[in-house]
Every structure is written in C-alpha cells, then in structure tokens.
Amino acid sequence: MLLGAALAAASLLASAPAAGGKPANAIRIGGPSAPGEGKVAIVGSNRGLAGKPFLVLDGGGGVARRGTLHRAAGTPAPWPKAYRASLGSLSAGSYRVRVPALGLTSRAWVVRPDGSARAIDKVLEFFAANRDGGEASPIHDPSHLNDATVKGGPHDGEHLDLTGGWMDAGDMVHFAQTTSFAAAVLEAAARLDPARAPELDAEADVGIRWLIKAHPTPGLFIGQVGDQRDHELGFRDPAGDDASPKPGIGHRRAYPGIAAGGIGGDIAGKAAAALALAYDRSGDAADLAQAREWYSAGRAAARPNPPLPGGFYHDQLWKDSMAAGAAALYRSTGEQHYLSDALGYLHSAQSDADGTLGVVDSSASFAAADICGALGAPALGGPGDRGFACRRLREFGEIAVEQAGGNAFGMPGFFTWGTTAQNGASGALAGLAGCSSGLTGGRAVAAGARDYLLGRNPFGRSFVVGYGPRAPRHPHHWASVFGDALPQGAVVGGPAPIAQIHGQGFQVRDPHDTGFASYEDRRADYVTSEPALDYAASSILLLATLEAGC
C-alpha cells in the first residue's frame, strides 16, 4: 500500500506544471507492447541527466532492470532536454520506470503477449459508430435514408440510393475520397493481421457497399454526399435528419465527380484499389467490374478531381493514387498493362519520395509496398519490378525514420492538421520497409509511433477515445449529444501547428506546448479534437503492421 501511494504521488508530481512556465520534469512511456518489442521511455527534463541511472520496477515494486539515461536525438521540446531509457525486452507484466535523480516514477507500462492488438478492436468501434443509413451503428438508429439527389452534371435532379457507408468525421458528410482510402487500408490491415481479418474485412465492406452505389451508371461517379450545411446545423442525433425540413439535411445532395462525367484520378485510384482488394477476397465479379471502371475513369481524367462543395479533401496529386489502384488491379487480374501503369506512375515526378504509407493525400508508398510484397500478399511482377518497388519502399521508409529522429518522442510523420494520420501511416511505412526491404530501425520506429499515439508524447496522453492514459473525453463529434467520451475508439487529430490552430480562431495554452505544436481535448477545437476515418484507418494499419512482426 505504501509503495502504491508513493508511485501515485510521483505520477501526480510528473504532471504538475513547473515554475516559470516550463513543464515539470516528466517520464513518458508507451505500450501496451509485446515482450520481444523494444521499449523506450522518454524523460523530459529541465536539467542534465545523461548517464544518470534509471530503474525498471516490476508489479511488486522489485527492480527488474537497471540502466542509464542517454540523450534523445531530435528536439526535446517542450523541455530543454530529453533522455531515453531503453527498457529492452520484458516478460509479460506491468512495469514502471523510476528516475531517482528526479524522484519520479512513471505510470505502468503493460507488457502482454498480444501487445497493442486490442487497440485495433477499440478503433474499429469508431467505424461502427460512424456507419450510416441501414448499416447498424451501436449508438444511433438508421439515418439519412433519403440520400440522395444528384446536383449538377447530366444526371442533375435524379434520385439515387446512396444510403449506408460511413459518416466521415465529426460531421455527417460522405466522401468517396476517404471512404475509398479507409476501405483499402482496412483490407490491407486484414492481410497483415489474419487473426482480426474477419472484423477488419467486415468493416471495410461497409465502405465497399457504398462505393458500388456511388457508381450507379456509366459516366456517373459520386464524389460527395452532403455539404457544408451539415456544419451549419451543428451536432445532433443523425437519426433525426430524415424528418428535418432544413435544406440539405432531410434530403441531401449527391455531388458527381468531374461535372461532365467521370472522376479525378486522386479519388478513382483509391476506389479502384479498395474494390480490387475486395474482389480478391470475395471473388464477386461486380467488385472487379467496379474497380476497373473507377480506374478507367481516373486514367481518362488524368488529373485530380476539381474541388467539391466545401473544398473538403481536395488533392493536388493523382498519380500516387492511380499507382495504388493499378497495382491492386494487377494482383486481381494478372493483366500486364496494370502493372506497367503502376510502375509508370511510381516512376513519375508526382511520386517523389514520401514518408507516409497511404495517407489520404499520398498513396505512392502504398503501391510500392503492394508490389514489393509488404502488405501481406506475395510480391508482384518480375525480379526487376519487385526490386524497383522495394527500393522505392525503402526510400520512402528512410524518410519516416529520419522524421522520427527529428523529435525526441519519435513521431515519424510531420505535424499538421491530422497529425495522428501522419503518425500512423509513417510508422506503418517504416515497419513494413524494415520487414520487406531491410530498412534498419524500421520496426523500432513503428513501435515508437504506436507509443506516441498511446501516450509517449509531450502531453502524456492517448489520442484514442476510451483507450490509454488520459484519453480524449471531448472529441469534436456529433456523438457528443449522447454523452462525453463518445464515440469510443475515435482517433482525434492530435497535436497540430499552433499557427493552424490560431488560424481557426482557437487559443491554446498548455504547459506542454512545444512552441510549434499544441493539443487540447476541447470539443470546440476541431483542429486537434476532431476524429476522422483517415486518422483511424492509418492508426489501424500501424497496429496491424506491428502485429505482422514488422
């Protein structure tokens, strides 16, 4: 009892603000993780600690390991200095890190055989909550059953069945861009984590069913359902929208892609990848036919889709997405022209080295990983093709590793609006490149990205609702009408550049601000606190990558 009280007091001290506006000394840890994974705690300090000892205490308070602190590479912000405590491999159990020189003991680092795999189940709860139409959601009744009437183009005024799918983020709009991305990434994660493949593929099918509806006739591809009027109405129970007399709410509009018919390559390539991946497991000819048609439309367009109403998810690039679609279609059909296209897109200037694995606006590395055989399926093409793709994968992965070394806490993406998407995608990329192309340190970077997501960050908190330390309780999401800490499993945007936060009219003051980036668990602040499909999908891919041993 005395030991427990002392540890609790030390944990409270670690989170208290220091005098003079600097954050107090603190120990940040990650996990849960598997026994064989490397484990690194980060000590943020206001004074020098290099060479000072640290202890790893087991669940009974005994010393399981001793070590010395080493200076962490990269910026230590918000602290003047940061140090690494390498715990190494540990057997299953619960451990705390103690730094005697600071009189601090961390919260518990949980080690268990399945590592962080249970976090996948938690994040899938977010997808389930965001289901729409007649797709069963655990927190709301059927909704948006009147969707939708086409606005613009040759089919203007026609009513289509566009019910189902996922609501995208904290609002209720649907996008072919993020639906395609999320479905493809969930399917790739299922290949990497066979134990959870049934649940991952079943959730991906929610998006696949909607994508098939979004291309109901030749030349018509729906890019978006709903518009900015959803934002103007605010948070509400989605099941009430069908009875709403407000324009654009009770009867929503469906916006085609390119108005004259077709769809831009940025959307079409991702949709083709998702549908081809679905065909590989379903054998349903309709999935393959749809994949071909989305891909052909994107290839014919040879440009990104023009902005849809509201300017959401508008992408300037398109060849990266088409590379992903072409690679997936080659796997599905064996037709050489798809592989030739995929390699051509990967060779293009638009697919220059990128440190992320298929975030919503960067899919080149997803194609490289697929051809290299890193996404849970055999490599594609001949030795030269595979060699090229694996070299690109390694090149992309090296950027993620370099970015992880740029900050003491190992975040391998770049800080932006939606940092958690970058963290998940870049961490997955590093892990897969380490597994398939020999990238040194790739798995360690992937584990560090997982740890960053779940608490080993300057703020000492998880960015997944309902999972991990000090998890978000006030996400910017319509489910707030049902209570706090909903929807469970939502991955919020996380730390974002302060300039972007201020640009939206929000002021942030946290002792753990780095001077560049900040985070707050405040419902109004949609920059840091809104969840989204791509944040969640990228995080699942990261976790599945670790499950695959990469």
**Residue 525: exposure state from Cβ atoms within 10 A (0-12, 13-18, ≥19):** buried
Q: What are phi and psi of 531, to 5 degrees?
A: -85, 165
The pLDDT value given to residue 12: 30
Reference 363, options 317, 399, 414, 331; nearest CA is 317
Burial annotation 227-254 (CB, 10 A radius, 16+ → b, else e): bebbeeeebeebeebbeeeeebbebbbb
What letters, b where the CB count within 10 A reaches 16 and e where it falls short, cover 90-111? beeebbbbbbeebebbbbbbbb
Q: 118-460+529-547 belongs to which CATH class?
A: mainly alpha
Query: What confidence score (pLDDT) does residue 523 get?
Result: 97
For residue 60, the model assigns a pLDDT of: 95
Residues of the chain predicted below pLDDT 70: 1-21, 349-362
Report the pLDDT value the prediction gives residue 348, as an integer from 0 to 100. Answer: 82
First-last CA distance in the chain: 40
| Delimiting residues of CATH 2.60.40.10 domain(s) in the chain | 2-111
* CA–CA gap between residue 30 and residue 50 (Å, rounded): 21
For residue range 213-235, list pLDDT tens digits in order: 999 999 999 999 999 999 889 99
pTM for the model: 0.94
The ranges of the chain annotated as CATH 1.50.10.10 are: 118-460+529-547
454 to each of 56, 449, 463, 487, 514, how far by Cα in Å? 20, 9, 6, 17, 18
Contact 99, 69 (CB under 8 A): yes
Q: For residues 495 and 473, what is the distance between their CA atoms, to the nearest angstrom?
A: 16
Superfamily of domain 2-111: Immunoglobulins (2.60.40.10)
